[in-house]
Chain A
Amino acid sequence: MKSRRSRYGVLRRWIPLFLLGTVSTIALAACPPNEADGSLLTSGKLQLAWRPLLQGDTPVATTAIPMARHFALAVQLCEGRMASQASLKRIDATMPEHRHGMNYQPRISPLGDGRFRVEGLMFHMSGRWQIEFEVQNGNDVSRLLHDVQIR
Chain B
Amino acid sequence: MTCHAFCMTFRFDSSRISHLACVFLLACTWGAQAGEADFSAEEIARIASHGPWPMPSMRDPGNRVSGNPAAIRLGYRLFHDPGLAANRKISCATCHQPERGFQDGLATARGLQHGIRNTPGLWNVGQQRWFGWDGGHDNLWSASLRPILDPAEMGGDAKRTASLLRGQSELDCLYRHAFGKAPDAGDDALLANVAKAIAAWQETLVSPATRFDALREALLRGDGAAVANHAPALRRGLRLFLGRGQCATCHAGPLFSNGEFGDIGVPFFVKPEGVDPGRQGGIKRVLANPYNLLGRHNDDATRNNATATRHLRPEHRNFGEFKVPSLRNLKYTAPYMHNGSLATLRDVVHHYSQIDEDRLHSDGERILKPLHLTESEIDDLVSFLEALSPETPMVIPGPPARIDSCRGFARRSQGKADAHAASVTSHVSRNDR
User: Which 10 pairs between the two chains have the least Cβ-Cβ distance?
Assistant: A120-B311, A105-B313, A68-B258, A104-B311, A124-B260, A99-B366, A70-B307, A124-B258, A64-B17, A98-B366
Give chain A residues whose Cβ lies under 8 Å from the Cβ of B253.
67-68
10 contacts between A and B (CB under 8 A): A64-B17, A66-B16, A67-B258, A68-B258, A70-B308, A97-B366, A98-B366, A103-B260, A103-B315, A124-B260
Asked whether, in the complex, the Cβ of A60 is within 8 Å of the Cβ of B46, the reply is no
Give chain A residues whose Cβ lies under 8 Å from the Cβ of B46.
151
Asked whether, in the complex, the Cβ of B17 is within 8 Å of the Cβ of A60, the reply is yes
Question: Which residues from chain B sit less than 8 Å from chain A, CB to CB?
Answer: 16-17, 20, 45-46, 49, 248-250, 252-253, 258-261, 304, 307-308, 310-313, 315, 317, 363-367
Give the nearest-CB partner of B262 in chain A.
A125
Asked whether, in the complex, the Cβ of B311 is within 8 Å of the Cβ of A105, the reply is yes
Closest Cβ of chain B to A133, distance in Å, is 18
Q: A64–B19 Cα gap in the complex (Å)?
A: 11
A25 at the interface (CB under 8 A from B): no
Interface size for A (C-beta < 8 A) is 27
Give chain B residues whose Cβ lies under 8 Å from the Cβ of A55.
304
**Contacts A103-B315, A126-B252; A119 near B45 (Cβ below 8 A):** no
Q: A61–B21 Cα gap in the complex (Å)?
A: 13
Q: A55-B304, A99-B363 are in contact. List 15 more A-B contacts (CB 8 A).
A: A60-B16, A68-B253, A98-B365, A98-B367, A100-B315, A100-B317, A101-B315, A102-B313, A103-B260, A120-B310, A120-B311, A125-B249, A125-B260, A126-B249, A127-B367
**Contacts A97-B367, A98-B365, A98-B367; A64 near B20 (Cβ below 8 A):** yes
Give chain B residues whose Cβ lies under 8 Å from the Cβ of A32.
none
* Residue interface bits A55-89, CB-to-B below 8 A is 1, else 0: 10000110010111010000000000000000000
**Interface of A (DSSP majority class):** loop
Asked whether, in the complex, the Cβ of A125 is within 8 Å of the Cβ of B250, the reply is yes
Asked whether, in the complex, the Cβ of B49 is within 8 Å of the Cβ of A151, the reply is yes
The number of residue pairs between A and B whose CB atoms lie closer than 8 Å in the complex comes to: 71
Give the nearest-CB partner of A67 in chain B.
B252
Asked whether, in the complex, the Cβ of B312 is within 8 Å of the Cβ of A105, the reply is yes
Question: Which residues from chain A sit less than 8 Å from chain B, CB to CB?
Answer: 55, 60-61, 64, 66-68, 70, 97-107, 119-120, 122, 124-127, 151
Give chain A residues whose Cβ lies under 8 Å from the Cβ of B252.
67-68, 125-126
Q: A55–B199 Cα gap in the complex (Å)?
A: 24
Asked whether, in the complex, the Cβ of A107 is within 8 Å of the Cβ of B311, the reply is yes
Give chain B residues whose Cβ lies under 8 Å from the Cβ of A151.
45-46, 49
Q: A66–B49 Cα gap in the complex (Å)?
A: 10
Closest Cβ of chain B to A65, distance in Å, is 10
Asked whether, in the complex, the Cβ of B367 is within 8 Å of the Cβ of A104, the reply is no
Q: A117–B273 Cα gap in the complex (Å)?
A: 47
Give the nearest-CB partner of A96 in chain B.
B366
Asked whether, in the complex, the Cβ of A100 is within 8 Å of the Cβ of B364, the reply is yes
Asked whether, in the complex, the Cβ of B16 is within 8 Å of the Cβ of A64, the reply is yes
**Contacts A124-B260, A125-B249; A119 near B307 (Cβ below 8 A):** yes
